[in-house]
Amino acid sequence: MQVPDVASMRLLPVVLLLLCSCTRFCRPHYRKENEKKSELPPASDLLDTKCLAERHTHRSCDKVFCQPWQKCIGGTCLCKLPYQCPKNGTRVCATNGKSFLTYCQLKSFQCLQPDSKFLNSGECTGQEKFDVSLHHEGPDSVGLLRVKLTVLEESMYVCKDGWGMTQANVACLDLGNPLGALDTPDVARPDINIDECLHVSCRGTETSLTECTFTRRAGVQELAGVVCYNDSEAPPAEKAFQCVNGKRIPRGKACDGVNDCGDQSDELCCTRCQGASFHCSSGVCIPQQYRCNGERDCITGDDEANCGGAERPVTSEPNLLPLDMDTERKRIKSLLPTMSCGVKQHMHSRRKRVVGGSQAHVGDFPWQVAIKYGDGISCGGIYIGGCWVVTAAHCVRASRVRQYIIFSSLIDWIKPNTELHFRLVNKVIIHENYNGSTYQNDIALLQLKMPSLKECEMPGSVPACLPWSPYLFQPNHKCIVSGWGREKGNLRVFSLKWGEVHLINNCSQFYPGRYFEKEMLCAGTDDGSIDACKGDSGGPLVCQDVNNVTYLWGIVSWGENCGKPEFPGVYTKVSNYFDWIGRHVGRSLITQYNL
Ligand code: ARG
C-alpha cells in the first residue's frame, strides 16, 4: 500500500489553489459554449456510441433488472420455467383458455408460447371478452382507441390524460403490431355524446393492455389517439434514432425517460436525460415518477437514494380490474429470495480523513482476508460468502493447496489481534484462461475447509457484494484499495493499510498493448501518491454504491512500479467474471437480483 508522503501533502493546497483560480477564469467560456449547444440538443451528445454498439434492450441485465419471471443468463434476461416461480399467488386466465396458478407462471409460460397472453385474474369461464380496437372516421391510420374490459359490458374510449407512447406501444401490440406505436396524435372527438372515458397507465413492458391499470374518468374529456407503427410513415433514417428492434423513432425522443422504441433501447445508453426523466448513473433514463417510488429501477439504486424519507409507494386509484398486475409484479418480486453482503455490522466513525493511506482497524474491511504462504502474508483475498474467497490467480497454485492459511479479521501479523480466525484451503480454482505472462483473467477462487460439519461461516467477516454489471460504477468513482503490501521505498508492512483511489478510464494510454479493457480496470490518484504495491495482490478494490453497499470492483493484479502517476494500478475487472464465479460457487450465494 503506497501512501502520500508529508511533503507532497503540503503541496496539495497550493495545487488546489492554482486549479481553482484556473477554473474561475475558464468556466464562463466553457459555459457559453455549452449553452449554445443546448439550444437544440442534438441527440448525439446525449448518446454513448460505445454503449449503443452493445445493442442493449429491456432484456440486457447489464442495464436493467430482469422481470421477476426472468433470470439473467450471459447478460440477457431469459424466462424462468413456470415451476421456478414463487408458489404464492392467485389464479389467472390466459387468452388460450388455460388457467394458471399464478401470474408469474403465466408470464414464464408465455415466453415459450407467445400467444398465451394474460386475459384476466381468476378462473377462466370462457365468457370473458377483452378487446382493443381503433375507431377512425377516415381511411388513414390515425384512430381513437376503444377498449372492452372483461369486467365491463360496453367498450369505452381511452382518455387522453395520462396517454403516451408507453401506453400506445402496448395498445398497438394488442392490435397486432409488434413494433408498437408510431405516434399519439390529437384526434377530433366523434360527434356523439361521450361523458366518460378510461384512464390507462402502463409500465411499457406489458404484452397486453389488460395488464395495465384502468380507472374511470367522468366528464367530457379529450380522447386518446394512436397511429401504430409502419415503416413508410416512420421518420427517415437520417432524422431517426435506430432502435435495436428495427423501429425508427424521432431522434429527439431518445433519452427522455419514455420507452418509445418498445424495447427500451432509446433509454439505455444516455450520458444525461432530458424532459421529465431521471438519469441512473448506469446511463439509463427512467420516468421521473419512478424516482422515490419505493421500487429500485436503476441497477445502481440511485432512483431510491436521497429521498429524504419521502419514498411514496404510489397509491394510485383502485384499478377497475379485480387484480392490479403491476402490484402483482411487485409482490412476486418481494417473494424472491434475498441475501446480504457489503454492509458492515457497525459503522466506524474513526475513518474521517478523505486522503487514504491510513491504518485500518478491526471491522473496517470485514471482507479482507490474508493469504499466508511460507513465513509471511503472500497475498490478500476477499471473502464473498459461504466457503469462498476470491484472489488473484497469480497468487496461488493448485499444487500448494495444503500450504495456504487464510486469515480473517487480521490487522497486524506481528501483533495478532483477538478477533483473528483462520481456515485451511480445500480447493484452489484458477481461471482456465489465466495467462501468466499477460495477467489476463488474473482471478482464482479458494474453497475453505469447514471447521466442522456445520456451515462454512467466517466469524466477524462480512462478504463483499459481487458486481453483476459493468455499469454499476463509472470512471472517477472513488473506491478503496487495501492490503499488507509494500510501502514507499519498498518498505515491508505488517499491518493492514488502505487508500482511496479513483477509477481511471482509457487505461491503454498508460499501458499500450498490455491493458485489456474487458478484463482489467485501472485505479489511482492524479499524483500517484496512493497505489497498491507488491504484496497487495489478490486483495480488494471496493466501491460503495449510493446506499453504502460495498462491491468488490477489482482485484489487485499488476502495475508498473508503485505510486507513479503515469503507471496506475491495474486490477482484475470483477464484473466480467460474475458468471464464472457464479458457476463455481452457485448463483444464489452471490446475488439476489435477476435470479
Ligand atoms: N503484482 C503485485 C503483487 O504481487 C501487485 C502489484 C500492484 N502494483 C501496483 N503498482 N498497483 O503484489
For residue 481, the model assigns a pLDDT of: 95
What is the Å distance from ligand 1's center to 13 Cα?
29
341-345, 427-431, 516-520: least confident range: 341-345
Q: What are 224's three cell numbers?
A: 386518446
Q: 182-212, pLDDT tens digit by residue?
A: 999 988 888 778 889 999 999 999 999 989 9
Closest CA to 428 of 394, 470, 400, 467: 400
Determine whether domain 478-590 maps to CATH 3.30.70.2170.
Answer: no
For residue 592, the model assigns a pLDDT of: 72
> How many angstroms separate the CA atoms of 216 and 157, rounded?
10
Domain ranges of the chain: 29-334, 366-433+442-448, 478-590
What is the Å distance from ligand 1's center to 315 Cα?
53
The yes-or-no verdict on residue 353 having pLDDT over 60 is: no
For residue 19, the model assigns a pLDDT of: 34
Ligand 1 touching residue 442 (CB < 6 A): no
Q: What percent of the chain has pLDDT over 70?
A: 87
For residue 142, the model assigns a pLDDT of: 83
Residue nearest to atom 1 of ligand 1 (CA): 558
In the set 183, 442, 536, 545, the catalytic residue is 442
The yes-or-no verdict on residue 289 having pLDDT over 70 is: yes
Question: Cα 280–281–283 angle (5° rounding)?
Answer: 75
Ligand 1 touching residue 568 (CB < 6 A): no
The residues, any chain, with a CB within 8 Å of residue 189's CB and separated by 6 or more, are: 144, 222, 223
For residue 37, the model assigns a pLDDT of: 38
Residue nearest to atom 2 of ligand 1 (CA): 534
- How many H helices and E strands in the chain? 7, 29
Residue nearest to atom 6 of ligand 1 (CA): 558
The yes-or-no verdict on residue 76 having pLDDT over 70 is: yes
The yes-or-no verdict on residue 219 having pLDDT over 50 is: yes
Predicted confidence band at 35 (pLDDT cuts at 50, 70, 90)? very low
99 is catalytic: no
What is the Å distance from ligand 1's center to 522 Cα?
12
Name the residue of 3, 373, 534 to mutate for ligand 1: max ligand atoms within 8 A of Cβ. 534
364 is catalytic: no
Ligand 1 touching residue 439 (CB < 6 A): no
* Average pLDDT of the residues in 415-426: 90
For residue 55, the model assigns a pLDDT of: 97
Q: What percent of the chain has pLDDT over 90?
A: 55
Quick one: DSSP state of residue 66?
A: P
The yes-or-no verdict on residue 14 having pLDDT over 80 is: no
Ligand 1 touching residue 380 (CB < 6 A): no
For residue 245, the model assigns a pLDDT of: 96
Name the residue of 482, 557, 560 to mutate for ligand 1: max ligand atoms within 8 A of Cβ. 557
H-helix or E-strand spanning residue 585: helix 578-585
Ligand 1: which atom is nearest the Cα of residue 562? 10
* Average pLDDT of the residues in 217-235: 90
Q: Which residue has the higher pLDDT, 593 or 158?
A: 158
Ligand 1 touching residue 569 (CB < 6 A): yes
Q: Which residue has the higher pLDDT, 480 or 357?
A: 480
Q: Report the chain's mean pLDDT, rounded to a whole number.
A: 85
Q: Which amino acid is at 326?
A: D
Ligand 1 touching residue 485 (CB < 6 A): yes
Ligand 1 touching residue 537 (CB < 6 A): yes
For residue 126, the model assigns a pLDDT of: 79
Ligand 1 touching residue 520 (CB < 6 A): no
The yes-or-no verdict on residue 16 having pLDDT over 50 is: no
What is the Å distance from ligand 1's center to 394 Cα?
10
Class of 366-433+442-448 in CATH:
mainly beta
For residue 543, the model assigns a pLDDT of: 97
Question: Cα 519–523–525 angle (5° rounding)?
Answer: 165
Residue with grid cell 414463487, as numbered in its chain: 86
Q: Do domains 366-433+442-448 and 478-590 have the same CATH topology?
A: yes
Predicted confidence band at 43 (pLDDT cuts at 50, 70, 90)? low
- Cα separations in angstroms, 22 against 262, 486, 525: 46, 37, 20
Q: Which residue has the higher pLDDT, 383 or 111?
A: 383
- Give one DSSP letter per residue of 129-188, joined into a string: --EEEEE-SSSSS-EEEEEE-TT-SS-EEBBSTT--HHHHHHHHHHTT-TT-EEE----P
Predicted confidence band at 26 (pLDDT cuts at 50, 70, 90)? very low
**How much is the pTM?**
0.87
Ligand 1 touching residue 532 (CB < 6 A): yes
Q: 483-517, pLDDT tens digit by residue?
A: 998 876 666 778 899 999 999 999 999 999 999 99
- Tell me the range of 90-94, 147-151, 369-373, 531-535 where mean pLDDT is highest: 369-373
* Average pLDDT of the residues in 43-49: 84
What is the Å distance from ligand 1's center to 485 Cα?
8
346 is catalytic: no
Residue nearest to atom 9 of ligand 1 (CA): 559
